[in-house]
């Protein structure tokens, strides 16, 4: 009998890659998602497998899974700023109530649980690069607070289950990750720029573009998560690619890759948009023997090819047009 793993947020970008990885490792994967920001097409190819099953369920409600579980990966949560600004209450609930349900389930099943945290727990950081000892600089009542504070609460609750109940827990702090199966219109910067280039629109750089991000290719992230799950580290661990770039230079890279003749235009910087972000990955290197392997050029090319393969309908879906809502006056 294969070991059974529950993966929440399984129809999303990261969840679908995790499902594939654990199937390849010989696990029986129980995928759970309410499809609020995910897409069933991301896991459709797995449906016919005997060691894969899908539960359409909102984890902010009580979670029941029959049978044994060895591991739980809690990845359900909107992740793009435009998504979590559109559904702020669900965002708060999934990382608070949802996490509580999954910790309870882990306890009942004597399973080890890994929760997906984020570099957003550092907010607009005053320490650079960000190491795990930094407590962060978060505006709890700003527009991003619904995501950042929910994730911080998730970490606190997870640690409490570890210290009080002795539950085996893991916390991964994920930095900006990209790759195939991101939604072209989810508002995150890479799909936004590539989508604009493919539609022949100008690229929208928010602010003057001097803010930085550090982009990690999805396969590297999945490897880091896999190693963290199997490690004995219950403290939070950063997983990301330290190769930092300004958003302006990133826009130029996308223009060169796609060959678009459009120009860069500027839009106002959203409130509380972090000015810098770069992971310090010393801990992951030391404890997990992990570091990213895929450089940005190669990773973006693979992702671009994925976006090129999408239908015109996907390319022109216009939920992304809601940018102005994302930019609070």
* Closest C-alpha to 212, from 186, 192, 237, 241: 241
Q: Is residue 247 at the binding interface for ligand UDP, with CB under 6 A as the rule?
A: yes
Interface residues with ligand NAD (CB under 6 A) are: 8-9, 11-15, 33-38, 58-60, 75-79, 94, 98, 116, 118, 174, 176-177
Q: Which is nearer to ligand UDP, 58 or 220 (CB)?
A: 220
Residues 162-191 that bind ligand UDP (CB under 6 A): 176, 187-189
Q: What is the pairing mode between strands 203-206 and 264-267?
A: parallel
Q: Which is nearer to ligand UDP, 101 or 151 (CB)?
A: 151
Q: Is residue 204 at the binding interface for ligand UDP, with CB under 6 A as the rule?
A: yes
Q: Is residue 198 at the binding interface for ligand UDP, with CB under 6 A as the rule?
A: no
Radius of gyration of the chain (CA): 19
User: Would you say 252 and 217 are in contact if contact means Cβ atoms under 8 Å apart?
Assistant: no
State in angstroms the smallest separation of the CB of 206 from ligand UDP.
Answer: 4
Q: Is residue 201 at the binding interface for ligand UDP, with CB under 6 A as the rule?
A: no
* Closest C-alpha to 325, from 81, 35, 94, 77: 81
DSSP 3-state helix, strand, coil percentages of the chain (rounded to 5)? 45, 20, 40
Which structure tokens are listed for 103?
Answer: 């910790």
* Closest C-alpha to 129, from 282, 294, 286, 295: 282
Report the interhelical angle of 296-308 vs 189-199 (nearest 10°). Answer: 50
DSSP E strand boundaries for the chain? 4-8, 28-33, 52-56, 71-74, 112-118, 169-174, 177-178, 203-206, 212-214, 216-217, 237-239, 244-246, 264-267
Q: Which is nearer to ligand UDP, 86 or 188 (CB)?
A: 188
> How many amino acids of this chain bind ligand UDP (CB under 6 A)?
15
84 a catalytic residue: no
Q: Is residue 100 at the binding interface for ligand UDP, with CB under 6 A as the rule?
A: no
DSSP E strand boundaries for 140-198? 169-174, 177-178
Q: Which is nearer to ligand UDP, 169 or 278 (CB)?
A: 278
Eight-class DSSP state of 320: G
Exactly one of 15, 81, 179, 240 binds ligand UDP (CB under 6 A); that residue is 81
State in angstroms the smallest separation of the CB of 31 from ligand NAD.
Answer: 10
270 binds, among ligand NAD, ligand UDP, none (CB under 5 to 8 A by kind): ligand UDP
| Catalytic residue from among 27, 71, 147, 226 | 147
290 binds, among ligand NAD, ligand UDP, none (CB under 5 to 8 A by kind): none
79 binds, among ligand UDP, ligand NAD, none (CB under 5 to 8 A by kind): ligand NAD
| Residues recognised as catalytic | 147
Which residues in this chain contact ligand UDP in the complex, by CB under 6 A? 80-81, 176, 187-189, 192, 204-206, 211, 213, 247, 270, 273
């Amino acid at each position: 009998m294969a070991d059974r793993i529950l993966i929440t947020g399984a129809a999303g970008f990261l969840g679908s890659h995790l499902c594939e990885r654990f199937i390849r490792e010989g696990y029986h994967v129980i995928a759970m998602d309410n499809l609020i920001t995910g897409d069933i097409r991301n896991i459709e190819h797995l449906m016919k497998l005997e060691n894969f099953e899908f539960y359409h369920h909102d984890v902010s409600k009580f979670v029941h899974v029959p049978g044994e579980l060895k591991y739980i990966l809690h990845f359900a949560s909107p992740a793009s700023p435009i998504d979590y600004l559109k559904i702020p209450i669900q965002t708060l609930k999934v990382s608070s109530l949802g996490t509580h349900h999954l910790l309870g389930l882990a306890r009942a099943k004597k399973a080890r649980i890994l929760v997906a945290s984020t570099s957003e727990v550092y907010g607009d950081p005053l320490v650079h690069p960000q190491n795990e000892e930094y407590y962060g600089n978060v505006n709890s009542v700003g527009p991003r607070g619904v995501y950042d504070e929910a994730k911080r609460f998730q970490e606190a609750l997870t640690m409490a289950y570890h210290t009080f109940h002795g539950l085996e827990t893991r916390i991964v702090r994920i930095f900006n990750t990209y790759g195939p199966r991101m939604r072209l219109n989810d508002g995150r910067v890479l799909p936004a720029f590539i989508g604009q280039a493919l539609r022949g629109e100008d690229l929208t750089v928010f602010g003057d573009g001097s803010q930085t991000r550090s982009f990690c290719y999805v396969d590297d992230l999945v490897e880091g998560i896999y190693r963290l799950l199997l490690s004995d580290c219950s403290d939070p661990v950063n997983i990301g690619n330290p190769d930092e770039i300004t958003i302006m230079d990133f826009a130029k890279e996308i223009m060169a890759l796609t060959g678009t003749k459009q120009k860069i235009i500027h839009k106002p910087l959203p409130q509380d948009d972090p000015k810098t972000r770069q992971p310090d990955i010393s801990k992951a290197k030391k404890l997990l023997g992990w570091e990213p392997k895929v450089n940005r050029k190669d990773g973006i090319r693979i992702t671009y090819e994925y976006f090129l393969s999408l239908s015109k309908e996907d390319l022109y879906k216009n939920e992304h047009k809601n940018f102005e809502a994302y930019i609070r006056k």
